[in-house]
């Protein structure tokens, strides 16, 4: 098979908020806006459009970084463990929330990673991989590992450690919400279904230091997908100790190759210290600044912020209704930092009240009856932009004109659709349940939605707040009726939103609404197989349009921005469009 070398694969426009004609929006939540079909750097063409107004007025810029920041000291974080009821595991095979990802990213590295030095032009580079090759139809990848890389305990990283880790993470017994990721690999579907114990498509050669990966189907985005911690290697003794179980702290895998290593994890705090064996990151950093990171647990966002206001800690989350106060009191904050993510609600496709083709008009009516501006002003005080779809600006292929109907507040049209649904035999026999995880501002959002649906459609609803294990419970059969969801990109690809959130393979994982549509499956499979960027974007656009316009399966509400405040003594808090703090660069005054 013919292969092309990809020592450093440049992902053109990958988060570009699709470079507008002369300026670029930034980031994650990003903005963008090339006019239709603008050619991107590197030849990628994306259909694009307006997006985040804030970003269209801002240079993309670079990651802010002071190489002369002070060293030493402890950073005490109240921001990320401020909703302890949703914590399950920061094990790389199981981690599911952005908060826990902050810990995972500090401990574990993967084969590849993105360099976001130029926020609009990230480069996909080798992290634990020295180089890789991919064949012409994107069905086989060969990775060569860097020599001399070790875990935090000093043991050597081997090719077989990756294979063993992936077989654990993708196994039916382990039950990861991301288990479907192994379906990309030949033999992965059987492993994930409990019909096999090994990944037949992975050949690990420890002597040569290579991983040969045969895919189940062509996937031009596969090297980007490997950025996910799910594909981190597992230290053999750590893996033998933990097996196919996981949990909080040392109940999951804890020995990695990242800049920090775990010192302590309990119900009160997680403590990380520098990894003396760290090989460095894709930015060229080889040393960390901090002596210790302490993640403090609190029961909710409000408690964490109040603790920060009282003078404790170095960072905290901003609660609903406190954004203006927080910005005024603490000028050092991330509120204006776009993050590539979307806040949305799913409909339960398996729910008799709202699911099925017979209820499409009901779903459209509900989506159009929700006042996104009211949500933004009352809950986020104008700091977020209304969503133009599921896929945010910055993702190659982003199109802001895909969801003009159900993403727009139109109570009159919503009532017409609802009345048509009733006239055609539709009937609600009980209140619609609005599911959400407690502890953040989600209850405030749900309350506004409840009022909108009552006022605009006359629909009765009930609030279904869940205090613990929300993401597991809502993914179960019947667990979602109208359920709160949200997604921060794991890597800047369209497939990370379409495949991970709405494919049949991700049912029981991140596909909370259990959406399953044959036409959609064909479109996303064709998109993944397409090696031409512009053609791939068009296929993904068609898939998203089907999801939103034809099936009205999800209700996009807003695109994320940062929501943390931090002390004046903190340096290098800036982070890239995926929302991960670069803990190795973070520093504090003495």
pLDDT over 90 (residue 134): yes
Burial state string for 488-516 with b = 16 or more CB within 10 A and e = fewer than 16: bbbbbbbbbbbbbbbbbbbbbbbbbbbbe
Residue 451 corresponds to which tokens in the numbers above?
């009022």
pLDDT one-digit tens code per residue, 276-316: 999 999 999 999 999 999 999 998 899 999 999 999 999 99
Average pLDDT over residues 197-201: 96
- Which residues fall within 8 angstroms of residue 40, CB to CB, at 6 or more apart? 12, 13, 16, 18, 19, 34, 46, 396, 533
According to the model, what pLDDT value does residue 590 have? 80
Band the pLDDT of 42: cuts 50, 70, 90: very low
Residues, the chain: 590
Band the pLDDT of 23: cuts 50, 70, 90: very low
According to the model, what pLDDT value does residue 336 have? 78
Average pLDDT over residues 391-410: 90
pLDDT one-digit tens code per residue, 339-377: 889 999 999 999 999 999 999 999 999 999 999 999 999
Q: Does domain 341-561 have CATH number 3.30.300.30?
A: no
According to the model, what pLDDT value does residue 579 have? 84
| Strand positions, DSSP E, 348-414 | 385-386
CA dihedral of residues 306, 307, 309, 313 (deg, nearest 10): -150
For residue 118, which of 585, 577, 580 has the smallest C-alpha distance?
577
User: In this predicted structure, which of 58-67, 277-286, 380-389, 510-519 has the lowest mean pLDDT?
Assistant: 58-67
Residue 525 corresponds to which tokens in the numbers above?
């499979």
According to the model, what pLDDT value does residue 550 have? 97
pLDDT one-digit tens code per residue, 518-540: 999 999 999 999 999 899 999 99
- Which residues fall within 8 angstroms of residue 427, CB to CB, at 6 or more apart? none
Query: What are the residue ranges spanned by the domains of the chain?
Result: 74-297+563-588, 341-561
pLDDT over 80 (residue 131): yes
Q: Are 88 and 109 in contact (CB under 8 A)?
A: no
Residue 13 corresponds to which tokens in the numbers above?
């426009």
CA 560/CA 574 separation, integer angstroms: 16
Largest CA distance in the chain: 70
Burial state string for 62-98 with b = 16 or more CB within 10 A and e = fewer than 16: ebeeeeebeeebebbbbbbbbbbebbbbbbbbbbbbb
pLDDT over 80 (residue 484): yes
pLDDT over 50 (residue 195): yes
CATH architecture of the domain 74-297+563-588 equals 3-Layer(aba) Sandwich (3.40)
Q: Are 474 and 434 in contact (CB under 8 A)?
A: no
pLDDT over 60 (residue 498): yes
What are the residue ranges of helices labelled H in 179-295? 188-192, 222-225, 236-242
According to the model, what pLDDT value does residue 317 have? 94
pLDDT one-digit tens code per residue, 136-192: 999 999 999 999 999 999 999 999 999 999 999 999 999 998 999 999 999 999 999
Higher pLDDT, 256 or 32: 256
What is the three-class DSSP state of 457? helix
According to the model, what pLDDT value does residue 206 have? 98
According to the model, what pLDDT value does residue 457 have? 98
According to the model, what pLDDT value does residue 120 have? 61
pLDDT over 70 (residue 1): no
Q: Are 120 and 126 in contact (CB under 8 A)?
A: no
CA dihedral of residues 326, 328, 333, 334 (deg, nearest 10): 80
According to the model, what pLDDT value does residue 84 have? 67
For residue 98, which of 28, 192, 13 has the smallest C-alpha distance?
28
Higher pLDDT, 2 or 413: 413
Burial state string for 535-558 with b = 16 or more CB within 10 A and e = fewer than 16: ebbbbbbbbbbbbbbebbbbbbbb
Q: In this structure, how many other beta carbons lie within 10 angstroms of the beta carbon of residue 266?
A: 11
Residue 189 corresponds to which tokens in the numbers above?
């579907």
Cα distances (Å, whole numbers) of residue 240 to 231, 320, 375, 396 = 17, 44, 48, 40
Report yes or no on whether pTM surpasses 0.85: no
Radius of gyration of the chain (CA): 23
For residue 440, which of 578, 558, 304 has the smallest C-alpha distance?
304
pLDDT one-digit tens code per residue, 67-123: 999 999 999 999 999 876 778 899 999 998 889 999 999 999 999 999 988 776 678
According to the model, what pLDDT value does residue 4 have? 34
For residue 550, which of 524, 586, 519, 579 has the smallest C-alpha distance?
519
| Strand positions, DSSP E, 171-328 | 202-205, 210-214, 260-265, 269-274, 292-296, 315-317
Q: Would you tell me the crossing angle of helices 360-368 and 442-457 to the nearest 10 degrees? A: 110
Place of tokens 């003009």: 404
Percent of the chain with pLDDT over 90: 74
Q: What does pLDDT average to over the chain?
A: 87
According to the model, what pLDDT value does residue 175 have? 92
pLDDT one-digit tens code per residue, 211-245: 999 999 999 999 999 999 999 999 999 999 999 99
pLDDT over 60 (residue 561): yes
């Amino acid at each position: 098979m013919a292969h092309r070398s990809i020592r450093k694969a440049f992902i053109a426009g990958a988060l570009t908020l699709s470079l507008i004609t002369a300026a670029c929006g930034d980031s994650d939540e990003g903005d963008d806006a090339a006019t239709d079909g603008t050619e991107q750097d590197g030849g990628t063409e994306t259909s694009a459009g307006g997006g985040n107004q804030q970003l269209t007025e801002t240079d993309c810029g670079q990651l802010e970084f002071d190489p002369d920041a002070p060293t030493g000291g402890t950073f005490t974080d109240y921001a990320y463990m401020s909703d302890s009821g949703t914590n399950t595991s920061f094990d790389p095979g199981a981690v599911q929330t952005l908060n826990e990802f902050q810990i995972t990213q500090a401990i574990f590295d993967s084969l590849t990673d993105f360099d976001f030095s130029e926020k609009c032009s990230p480069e996909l580079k080798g992290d634990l991989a020295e180089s890789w090759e991919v064949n012409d139809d994107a069905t086989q990848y060969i990775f060569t590992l860097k020599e001399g890389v070790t875990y935090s305990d000093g043991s050597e990283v081997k090719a077989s450690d990756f294979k063993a880790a992936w077989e654990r993470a993708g196994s039916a017994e382990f039950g990861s919400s991301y288990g479907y990721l192994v379906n990309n690999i030949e033999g992965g579907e059987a492993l994930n279904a409990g019909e096999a114990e090994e990944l037949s498509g992975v050949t690990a050669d420890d002597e040569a230091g290579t991983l040969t990966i045969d895919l189940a189907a062509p996937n031009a985005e596969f090297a980007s997908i490997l950025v996910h911690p799910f594909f981190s290697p597992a230290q053999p003794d750590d893996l033998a100790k933990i097996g196919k179980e996981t949990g909080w702290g040392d109940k999951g895998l804890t020995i990695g190759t990242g800049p920090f290593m775990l010192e302590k994890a309990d119900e009160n705090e997680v403590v990380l210290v520098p990894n003396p064996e760290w090989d460095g990151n894709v930015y060229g950093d080889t040393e960390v600044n901090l002596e210790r990171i302490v993640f403090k647990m609190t029961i909710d966002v409000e408690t964490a912020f109040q603790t920060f206001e009282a003078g404790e800690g170095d960072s905290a989350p901003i609660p609903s209704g406190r954004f203006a106060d927080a910005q005024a009191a603490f000028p050092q904050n991330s509120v204006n930092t776009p993050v590539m993510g979307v806040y949305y609600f799913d409909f339960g496709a398996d729910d008799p009240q709202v699911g099925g083709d017979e209820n499409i008009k009901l779903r459209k009516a509900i989506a159009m009856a929700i006042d996104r501006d009211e949500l933004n002003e009352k809950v986020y005080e104008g700091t977020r932009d209304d969503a133009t779809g599921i896929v945010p600006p910055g993702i190659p292929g982003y199109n802001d004109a895909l969801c003009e109907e159900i993403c727009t507040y139109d109570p009159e049209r919503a009532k017409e659709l609802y009345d048509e649904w009733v006239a055609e035999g539709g009937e609600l026999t009980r209140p619609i349940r609005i599911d959400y995880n407690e502890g953040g501002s989600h209850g405030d959002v749900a309350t506004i939605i409840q009022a909108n649906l009552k006022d605009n459609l006359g629909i009765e609803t009930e609030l279904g707040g869940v205090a613990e294990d929300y993401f597991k419970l809502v993914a179960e059969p019947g667990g979602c009726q109208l359920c709160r969801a949200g997604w921060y990109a794991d890597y800047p690809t369209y497939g990370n939103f379409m495949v991970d959130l709405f494919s049949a393979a991700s049912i029981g994982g991140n596909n909370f609404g259990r959406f399953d549509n044959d036409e959609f499956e064909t479109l996303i499979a064709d998109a993944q197989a397409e090696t031409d960027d512009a053609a791939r974007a068009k296929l993904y656009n068609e898939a998203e349009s089907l999801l939103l316009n034809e099936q009205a399966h999800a209700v996009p509400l807003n695109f994320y921005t940062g929501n943390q405040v931090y002390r004046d003594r903190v340096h290098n808090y800036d982070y890239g469009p995926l929302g991960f703090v670069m803990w190795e660069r973070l520093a504090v005054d003495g």
